[in-house]
Structure 1
Amino acid sequence: MIKVSEAVAGEIVLEKLIDTLMRTAIEHAGAERGLLILPRGDDYRIEAEVTTSSDHLNVVLQQASVTAVALPGSVFQYVLRTKEKVLLHDAGGQNIFASDEYIREHRPRSVLCLPLLKQTRLLGVLYLENRLTPHAFTPARMAVLRLLASGAAMSMENTRLYTDLQERETRISALKDQLYRENLALRDEVDRVSMFEEIVGSSKPLQAALSRITNVAPTDSTVFISGETGTGKELIARAVHKRSRRSGRAFVSVNCAALAPTLISSELFGHEKGAFTGALHRRLGRFEMADGGTIFLDEVGELPLDTQVALLRALQEREFERVGGAQTVRVDVRVITATNRDLTAAVANGSFREDLFYRLNVFPIEVPPLRERADDILMLVEYFVQRFAARSGKRFNSIDKKTLELVQHYDWPGNIRELQNVIERSVIVGAGEVFAVDPAWLSTRPAQPRPRGAAPTRLPSQPRGEREIIEAALAECRGRVAGTLGAAAKLGVPPSTLDHRIKALGIRKTDFKFR
């Protein structure tokens, strides 16, 4: 009896439990045929049928209706109503069920219909019959079957709870993924609103870039945006997305330079639970978040080589694996990338894959620096003054003439981002009805401005020259990286990019603070 009880006690997978229960019941009951009937909603269904032939047991899992063809309907209804067993030693003899249609047609000799109870709750019904032998279900066999029924009821309840738990975990995981997507989309929308909403300007260089946006937006081609820092490359990427057939789906922006090299793959492609220390849950990557929409990879030139390989595969095959996972994830994503670095030089020195560069550079768009958009400066100043004045509750009726001359003759090495910051700062400190900019805020650059059309200082492709230029800039700025007086502004690169290169080259910023 202990073996019979143990046979079903530890099973929590429903299909395996049903198979074990039916085989054990037939082997110990002396029956030729058996049915397991379980509740499904407001109805009952036959979940399994077992038959014997030449010492062989055949268990068939099914979900069939309970009909008069399968078993004695009056016997089954009696068990449902009373929750008591029905045992017929001679089904065709004198008993209240002898007139049942099934018993009259199929003539079973021994019939047993046993309720599976958990306390007073009916979890199922086990039906057994023998068509050859009366009194097949002896007292000894009944004792075994009662023990089996009790263990089966307990195991079925545990199986139900386990299944419910799995379904809830699946729903919770799906809801978490949905919440993550919605949260990402909401943050993305907040970021979009916090930027200036439209591309402002009518100069020829800008119109040339906008014309290329109009050409490529309706397609699914990969777009490569180049331009100096602060020129509005992300705004160009958003404009491409907004005018594409994917505009109703997510636009996911990733600054590759702002991510630690060890976390870039996880951020882009996600990770499985336990993939690394601290990976307590499965996490979707940015590519999955952008499925059906657009992913924008800013500062793509900062990607490490191993991540470049994974990105190349994602571009070619539209598939990847999460970190720590073996399952292939397929996505439908349009890829837009941007950089302020010279990737051809990076390809030449081996820090950027040549095959990936050609995959990204399908349709290039170059964003002109602000110094080449002199005709747009006054329009941009008016736009930013109105925007920040409205936000701070101020009102300016005019712009100081000296300010107009100042902004038009300054070459704006930080481009639109620098102009935007200067205007916002001036609005904050401004008083009265005339808007003005403090000339001191624009005098921190070298006395001799760059000639128009000249490119800002770039980090060279060769490591030795790069170290020398970075160290010289740090020495001049006393170890400071960020801000208008920092080395990043002097070199014309984002502070995050410069920090990344400083760490990669092993330069100590503290060595330059007191020079």
Structure 2
Amino acid sequence: MSFNYDAFRTLLLLREFPNGLTTASLSQFLGLSLETQNSLLHDMVEFGIAERDEEQTHWLLAASSSNQELVGGFKKYFPREDDLPGRTLVLLADSRVFEACVLLQTLLQRLIVASHLSGAAICLELLVHRLQDCPYGSMSDLEKRHYVSVILMAQSDAFSLGVCMTAAHALSERAHCVAKMLGDQRAQALINLVGGCLEILSGVEDPTSLNSLLEQGLNAIKVLDDADMEGQVSYFLSFLYYARGDFRACYSAFDLAHNCPQMLNCMYFNEMYPLYMAPAASRLCQYAQSIGICESALHEAQARGDRHKILWMKILLAVHFLQMGITEQGLEYLSAVIDCVDTESSPKLFLWAWRALALHHAQSDKLEVSHRIMMECMRSRFRHGIGRFAYTATWVLELLASYEAKGLPPIPGYRLDEEIENVLGRQNRHLHGMAFRLKALRLAGDDVENGISLLRSSHEAFRSCGDRREAARSALLLVPLLKRCGRVAEAEKLEVSAQADFASTTLQPANAFVHLMPWQGHVFPASVADCLESCFNLIGNIGPALPVEAQIGALLNAVQREMGAERAVLCRLLPDGKAGYVLGCNVQAQEFDSQTYASRLQELAYPGTPDCLLSCTQEKVSLRLRISNCGEGTHGFFMESSHIAGAFVSMDAEAQKRLHRAMERELKILSRMNMVRTRNLQQMGDIEFSMPYDSAMKYYDGVGFRRTLEQARHAAASDATILILGETGVGKEVLARRIHEFSGRTGAFIPVHPASTPENLFESEFFGHEKGAFTGADRQKPGLFELANNGTFFIDELAEIPLSFQVKLLRVLQEHTFMRVGGTRNIESDFRLIAATNKNLWDEVQEGRFREDLYYRVSVIPITIPPLRERKDDIPGLLKLFIEQFSTRYGRHFAPLDQTVVEKCKHYPWHGNIREMKNVVERSVILNTGGPLDLLLLGQRRQESQPEESNEFKTFYADFPTVEELTIRYMKHVLEVTQGKVIGPGGAEQILGVKRSTLYAKLRKFGLKKSLP
């Protein structure tokens, strides 16, 4: 048989799966249509190359097929560059496993985003299996870091798809070993947490594992002590808190994590926010918030065409709506999901969807239908070899209890008595509350005291989780038992408390299981006054140390949550009548621009429009506030609900005004705070980074320098890279600082001198490093590129940069993005590069010491500073400048220089240029003992025979003293010149250039301390 290109690809893929593959998974992985794939497979069966399994559902490679022949045949085609599956399969056949795994990870992301979930499932299975085969011992450090990153991403995708979780968990040990070899503490912490979360989701949780994992996560934050790590670890902590039923802690951790950049580009971690935050909000009785979170995530997924996330958000919304009695909307979303999922492509979504359908029928008093759905769901799970899924929803237990109460047979693998004991053996307090309640109900009043004890435990467990609604249900079941025992006062007090708990939820969701709910009285929502008071208390407790944007976010959150809105947004009302997004809760910037929020807020900009507008229609309820006088123009605040009518719906004019005044006051305070902080940061940046060599230094724009300066002014107006050329000491860094000042850039001026940096530290210095990235990295360190954001990055003596680092520098100059050493996320920096050198860079290129591509990148605008000997007319002005500077510094006063001295300086060669002149003037000022200033031109003295050398200096070495004796004599001389002054300007410490502690030690050693005044 003569195979075509796609036939060879199909056979190579079947070669990797001895148990066979379905047509759908083959076609999606290889990017073929179902018709094309089917035709190929039937041809292969005819030629004895492929065969069907016994159930006629999977395709297998025939036993007679020759693997070597397949590989050799396909290599003749040489996979196309755009054929990612083909290139991957050939690499696997050639045993180039790690290269293949990198391509598999890329392919997997494409399949997930395209919602080709059958193909994604086998891609993940192949990736996880092959990652176990990678020989990491022979990898370079860079490859090892990449290997760890691929494992973490694969584990993330196992979370998301709900397949291969056990196998993915087994990779943690390998990843941890590699991270340990690298000394990467950050990666080790993340690997531990990811592995633990996989263990929990796989349903094999050790009863002690949750506390252990939480302790590890909190310890990682404490030990590594950097903000990025705190945000990343908080993603896992929030999931672990959720798994433990601690919804308040879960909420707080997610709030922190959601506002932090992610270090891992992992699908599942991007989805964790709505998957767990929304149910956590619901269990805290923040129903509007839970709906808002899900709908915002759904809109975002729809905007970017992410079908996988769309399905997840629809199933979440379906469950929420069904529990809240919004049945029509819930069934609409549920039907959309059921039509798209199956056990092969997305088993996790499949089980969620069918369990939700069973919930709906139970709520509709069709328990037999609900039971049949659950039975068929479980049969499908067993038939396809899908493992047991852990659950955290209490309604699953209630569903099983309903079946038992109706006398229906147990669901295979989910017997109620076993589930209750299983739940009590885990650490989820929310599930504990339901398990205790169901145990009490199963007693049927036979053991009243035991029933009271169990219901008390249930009530306490639910209250500790923050679920007031379920706590109230347990309390109301407890009331009649207390009355039976004669504890009437206690029962009445508990009943009042339970009704208050129901009222505070602002919602009476549908009763899912009527026979478990003894009390069905109408519940009035909490009053507007109470909600406002709670809102104002939260606003008053916002931490002033937080960044201003975080405080605005906390303000919006407080108003939106307490007033019961699904979403809220703050915008700036622009002069042209449009609205600009500032910040939102459950409203992203893209959503604000693409939908009708902006148009609804524009009305506030019209003259004569009231500051408060409450609008109620059949579809939506909204409140709009115009907020003026808050420092940066007029703002608009908008909150609305489409499904849950919160307290803000009932706000009268006075309540609206109270909220308006509170928000206007807070935003005004935050605006002022932002102005002060911005000004302080600018001042700190000026002091720390933009200060010249000397704070008293002034610039001298001499005639000989004027042309160079004019070039610099023109160049500064652009963002082009500038290369400053000139001899040592001509003032290249001073000119670079002038260019930075001319440019108007608001960031810092960051100078670096490569010659002073050891070669092995270049990456750490330029890119920065994460805490724990290598041995000795005991804290996070921002790199020089990062510090130069919005400013100027100056590299002095560019030619001294090692050749090995030049290619990395080139990449940063091209893309302005980089990673810290040990980091996993790209950092952007908008810096302007200025480089300088005293060498002929083109000669360095010809000698192979400098990269040619880097040469062209840095020499866009070359500026040459002439040496001082060619700028003789500038010398008098520079002398005057330096004398004024050092006279001020050392508290001296001198008459103007004699013209003969100036002429002598003009004819002096100044081989060290301005730096030499500066040093000559400083030394002369320090050593002057009175009278006119005599410039000690050392270069000129070396050219002379020096017959006039003073006896004072001859006595230092005329008798050939030892080094120690010469040191004593010189220190005595310096103390005489400084009149015993040791510290401060012009003191011995500064002249000798030694540490104060060293100087005092020598003074004591040589017996000179007693001679001090």
TM-score range, shorter chain: 0.5 to 0.7
CA contact (8 A) 1:371 1:415 kept: yes
- Mark the CA change 1:128 to 1:362 in structure 2 (over 3 Å): closer, same or farther: same
Pair 1:187-2:688 in alignment: yes
CA contact (8 A) 1:89 1:134 kept: no
Within 2, Cα distance between the matches of 1:7 and 1:415? 71
- Mark the CA change 1:306 to 1:60 in structure 2 (over 3 Å): closer, same or farther: farther
In the TM superposition, what is the alpha-carbon distance from 1:319 to its structure 2 partner?
1.1
- 2:721 equivalent in structure 1: 222
In the TM superposition, what is the alpha-carbon distance from 1:185 to its structure 2 partner?
5.3
- 1:405 equivalent in structure 2: 903
- Mark the CA change 1:84 to 1:305 in structure 2 (over 3 Å): closer, same or farther: same
CA contact (8 A) 1:347 1:353 kept: yes
Within 2, Cα distance between the matches of 1:418 and 1:219? 33
CA contact (8 A) 2:920 2:937 kept: no
Within 2, Cα distance between the matches of 1:383 and 1:359? 36
In the TM superposition, what is the alpha-carbon distance from 1:387 to its structure 2 partner?
1.6
- Mark the CA change 1:445 to 1:59 in structure 2 (over 3 Å): closer, same or farther: farther
- Mark the CA change 1:407 to 1:355 in structure 2 (over 3 Å): closer, same or farther: same
- 2:744 equivalent in structure 1: 245
Within 2, Cα distance between the matches of 1:229 and 1:217? 23
Task: Determine helix, strand or coil for the equivalent of 1:224.
Answer: strand
The C-alpha deviation readout for 1:35-93, integer Å capped at 9, x for no partner, is: 964388xx9977995663535689599xxxxxxxxxxxxxx99x79x9995234999xx
Within 2, Cα distance between the matches of 1:5 and 1:300? 57
Decide which structure has greater strand share: 1
Q: How does 1:306-325 map to 2 (within 5 A)?
A: 306-325=804-823
Identify the range of structure 1 (427-436 vs 404-413) with the bigger mean alpha-carbon deviation.
427-436
Between 1 and 2, higher relative CO (CA 8 Å, sep ≥ 6) is seen in 1
The C-alpha deviation readout for 1:284-326, integer Å capped at 9, x for no partner, is: 1011101011110111111112221111011111111222223
Q: How does 1:290-301 map to 2 (within 5 A)?
A: 290-301=788-799
- Mark the CA change 1:296 to 1:189 in structure 2 (over 3 Å): closer, same or farther: same
Pair 1:86-2:475 in alignment: yes
Task: Determine helix, strand or coil for the equivalent of 1:281.
Answer: coil
Q: How does 1:50-129 map to 2 (within 5 A)?
A: 52-53=359-360, 54=370, 85-88=474-477
CA contact (8 A) 2:752 2:795 kept: yes
Within 1, Cα distance between the matches of 2:478 and 2:281? 18
Pair 1:277-2:778 in alignment: no
The C-alpha deviation readout for 1:462-500, integer Å capped at 9, x for no partner, is: xxxxxxxxxxxxxxxxxxxxxxxxxxxxxxxxxxxxxxx
Determine which of 819, 830, 836 is the counterpart of 1:338.
836
Q: Percent identity?
A: 34
Task: Determine helix, strand or coil for the equivalent of 2:476.
Answer: strand
Could you tell me which runs of 5 or more consecutive residues in structure 2 were left unpaired when the two chains were aligned: 1-203, 215-236, 247-279, 292-318, 324-355, 361-369, 375-390, 396-462, 485-496, 502-508, 520-542, 551-677, 946-1013
Within 1, Cα distance between the matches of 2:394 and 2:940? 84
CA contact (8 A) 1:37 1:45 kept: no
- Mark the CA change 1:223 to 1:4 in structure 2 (over 3 Å): closer, same or farther: closer
- Mark the CA change 1:128 to 1:227 in structure 2 (over 3 Å): closer, same or farther: same
Identify the range of structure 1 (182-191 vs 303-312) with the bigger mean alpha-carbon deviation.
182-191
- Mark the CA change 1:306 to 1:405 in structure 2 (over 3 Å): closer, same or farther: same
Pair 1:427-2:809 in alignment: no
User: Structure 1: which amino acid aligns with 2:934?
Assistant: A
Task: Determine helix, strand or coil for the equivalent of 2:779.
Answer: coil
- 1:444 equivalent in structure 2: 942
Q: How does 1:134-173 map to 2 (within 5 A)?
A: 134=516
Pair 1:267-2:765 in alignment: yes
- 1:478 equivalent in structure 2: none
Could you tell me which runs of 5 or more consecutive residues in structure 1 were left unpaired when the two chains were aligned: 23-33, 62-75, 96-111, 117-126, 138-163, 172-177, 448-515
Decide which structure has greater helix share: 2
Task: Determine helix, strand or coil for the equivalent of 2:689.
Answer: helix
In the TM superposition, what is the alpha-carbon distance from 1:131 to its structure 2 partner?
2.8
Pair 1:368-2:866 in alignment: yes
Pair 1:379-2:877 in alignment: yes
- Mark the CA change 1:184 to 1:265 in structure 2 (over 3 Å): closer, same or farther: farther
CA contact (8 A) 2:700 2:878 kept: no
- Mark the CA change 1:113 to 1:130 in structure 2 (over 3 Å): closer, same or farther: farther
Pair 1:415-2:913 in alignment: yes
In the TM superposition, what is the alpha-carbon distance from 1:394 to its structure 2 partner?
1.5
Task: Determine helix, strand or coil for the equivalent of 1:337.
Answer: strand
Within 2, Cα distance between the matches of 1:219 and 1:305? 28
CA contact (8 A) 1:225 1:336 kept: yes
CA contact (8 A) 1:36 1:46 kept: yes
Determine which of 706, 725, 732 is the counterpart of 1:207.
706
Determine which of 672, 690, 699 is the counterpart of 1:198.
699
- 1:255 equivalent in structure 2: 753
- Mark the CA change 1:427 to 1:38 in structure 2 (over 3 Å): closer, same or farther: same
- 2:513 equivalent in structure 1: 131
CA contact (8 A) 1:113 1:128 kept: no
User: Structure 2: which amino acid aligns with 1:38?
Assistant: L
- Mark the CA change 1:9 to 1:314 in structure 2 (over 3 Å): closer, same or farther: closer
In the TM superposition, what is the alpha-carbon distance from 1:224 to its structure 2 partner?
0.2
- Mark the CA change 1:200 to 1:225 in structure 2 (over 3 Å): closer, same or farther: same
CA contact (8 A) 1:130 1:136 kept: no
Within 2, Cα distance between the matches of 1:9 and 1:379? 73
Determine which of 872, 875, 892 is the counterpart of 1:394.
892
Within 1, Cα distance between the matches of 2:779 and 2:920? 43
In the TM superposition, what is the alpha-carbon distance from 1:353 to its structure 2 partner?
0.3
- 1:38 equivalent in structure 2: 284
CA contact (8 A) 1:224 1:337 kept: yes
In the TM superposition, what is the alpha-carbon distance from 1:281 to its structure 2 partner?
1.8
**How big is the alpha-carbon RMSD for the aligned residues of Structure 1 and Structure 2?**
4.7
TM-score by length of 1: 0.58
In the TM superposition, what is the alpha-carbon distance from 1:6 to its structure 2 partner?
4.0
User: Structure 2: which amino acid aligns with 1:238?
Assistant: R
CA contact (8 A) 2:869 2:909 kept: yes
User: Structure 2: which amino acid aligns with 1:208?
Assistant: R
CA contact (8 A) 1:89 1:136 kept: no
The C-alpha deviation readout for 1:350-399, integer Å capped at 9, x for no partner, is: 11100000000000000110000011111111111122112222211231
Task: Determine helix, strand or coil for the equivalent of 2:835.
Answer: strand
Task: Determine helix, strand or coil for the equivalent of 1:243.
Answer: helix
Within 2, Cα distance between the matches of 1:339 and 1:133? 85
- 2:622 equivalent in structure 1: none
The C-alpha deviation readout for 1:434-473, integer Å capped at 9, x for no partner, is: 22223556323699xxxxxxxxxxxxxxxxxxxxxxxxxx
In the TM superposition, what is the alpha-carbon distance from 1:422 to its structure 2 partner?
0.4
Within 2, Cα distance between the matches of 1:301 and 1:60? 67
How many residue pairs align between the two structures?
351
CA contact (8 A) 1:226 1:366 kept: yes
CA contact (8 A) 1:274 1:281 kept: yes
TM-score by length of 2: 0.31
Q: Runs of 4+ in structure 1 displaced over 6 angstroms? A: 43-48, 112-116, 178-184
Pair 1:302-2:803 in alignment: no
- 2:824 equivalent in structure 1: 326
In the TM superposition, what is the alpha-carbon distance from 1:8 to its structure 2 partner?
9.9
In the TM superposition, what is the alpha-carbon distance from 1:415 to its structure 2 partner?
0.3
In the TM superposition, what is the alpha-carbon distance from 1:272 to its structure 2 partner?
1.8
User: Structure 1: which amino acid aligns with 2:807?
Assistant: V
- Mark the CA change 1:293 to 1:58 in structure 2 (over 3 Å): closer, same or farther: same
- 2:437 equivalent in structure 1: none
Determine which of 219, 231, 236 is the counterpart of 2:730.
231
Within 1, Cα distance between the matches of 2:210 and 2:760? 47
Within 1, Cα distance between the matches of 2:939 and 2:289? 80
User: Structure 2: which amino acid aligns with 1:131?
Assistant: F
Within 1, Cα distance between the matches of 2:238 and 2:687? 41
User: Structure 2: which amino acid aligns with 1:261?
Assistant: E
In the TM superposition, what is the alpha-carbon distance from 1:21 to its structure 2 partner?
4.8
User: Structure 2: which amino acid aligns with 1:239?
Assistant: R
